[in-house]
Amino acid sequence: KSHIDRRVAQMEAEGVTFRTKVCVGAKPSLTGINDDAVEVVSADQLKSEFDAVILAAGSEVPRDLPVPGRELGGIHFALELLVPQNKEVAGDDKNPISATGKHVIVIGGGDTGSDCVGTSNRHGAASVTQFEVMPEPPKEENRPLTWPYWPIKLRTSSSHEEGCQREFAVSTKEFIGENGKVKALRTVELEWKDGKPSEVPGSERELPADLVLFAMGFTNPVASLLEAFGVSKDARGNALATTDGAGCYATNVAKVFAAGDVRRGQSLVVWAIREGRQAAREVDTFLMGSSVLPR
């Protein structure tokens, strides 16, 4: 975080103004969207005050799990735990979600799930179990087969090493509650064949769960943002814009550009960096007629 603070200070010295706690367009009403905004700015206001606007808001809508019992208390999207935890560590209010003494189930096997595992351990959870719907990957990747693509192998983080039961090829069938709060969940084992899962007969079981965290990724950017600008979407609900050729990164709306996860969907930060740099060059060209920025 110190590196981020240093970079922010550098950019402020260069003339960038950061306005936080501002929502652009209508405030989202979706569960799982972190919204600290105390000010709302319309898209029309931004278009009238600025010569170019870049949408780089990410893909924020979390993937849900609509199975019986989903409405029970104690079931949260990952960022509902993680964002307040970062704020508490920074000296803000106490995290309203606590894993202390609870049986925690984390559904999702990626980096966000790993963060949930680590945070739950630091809270003093009674147990932490992480589910992944895909089968367990090999401990070592097949490099000749996968290069140059991202290698598929079992990845164990420091959070896992602190304590976590990891289970693969598992699907959640139902959340079981008591007095309106989740107390357990029912699962079934999966068998994968030709890339498709099927339930293993007789493999259903129940596990205690006082706190369930969804870390299954994100589906698309907040629709209200794109709709406020009138930006066209692709089939997955992302901002529609190309990455090559004349006018790339430009949306269908004059002087409005889109880059990063808001355009390509959930991805890695290296893609966000690449698209941010390329979009900056396109905006520079749009404003100045040419650009010396690298592509």
Q: In terms of domains, do 29 and 168 share one? A: no
Q: Is 293 within the bounds of a domain?
A: no
Residue 187's beta-bridge partner residues? Answer: 172, 205
Q: In terms of domains, do 177 and 261 share one? A: no
Q: Is 143 within the bounds of a domain?
A: yes
Residue 174: half-sphere exposure toward Cβ, Cα within 13 Å? 7
> Could you tell me the CATH number of the domain that includes residue 250?
3.50.50
Q: In terms of domains, do 68 and 203 share one? A: yes
State whether residue 211 is helix, strand or coil.
strand
Q: In terms of domains, do 89 and 205 share one? A: yes
The pLDDT of residue 5 is above 80: yes
41-81 pLDDT, tens digit each: 999 999 999 999 999 999 999 999 999 999 999 999 999 99
Q: What is the pLDDT of residue 136?
A: 79
Q: In terms of domains, do 68 and 55 share one? A: no
Number of folded domains in the chain?
Answer: 2
List the structure tokens of 42.
């319309």
Query: What value does the CA radius of gyration of the chain take, rounded to a whole number of Å?
Result: 22
Listed in sequence order, the residues at least 6 apart from 104 whose beta carbon sits closer than 8 Å to its beta carbon are 116, 120, 125, 126, 127, 128, 129, 209, 210, 211, 212, 213
Q: In terms of domains, do 200 and 68 share one? A: yes
The string of DSSP letters for 252-295 reads SSTTEEE-THHHH-S--HHHHHHHHHHHHHHHHHHHHS---S--
Amino acid of residue 96: P
The pLDDT of residue 150 is above 80: no
Range of the domain at 155: 64-216
Q: Give the end of a domain, one of 187, 216, 245.
A: 216
> Could you tell me the CATH number of the domain that includes residue 144?
3.50.50.60
What is the pTM assigned to this prediction? 0.87
Q: In terms of domains, do 148 and 227 share one? A: no
CA dist 115 and 19 (Å) reads 27
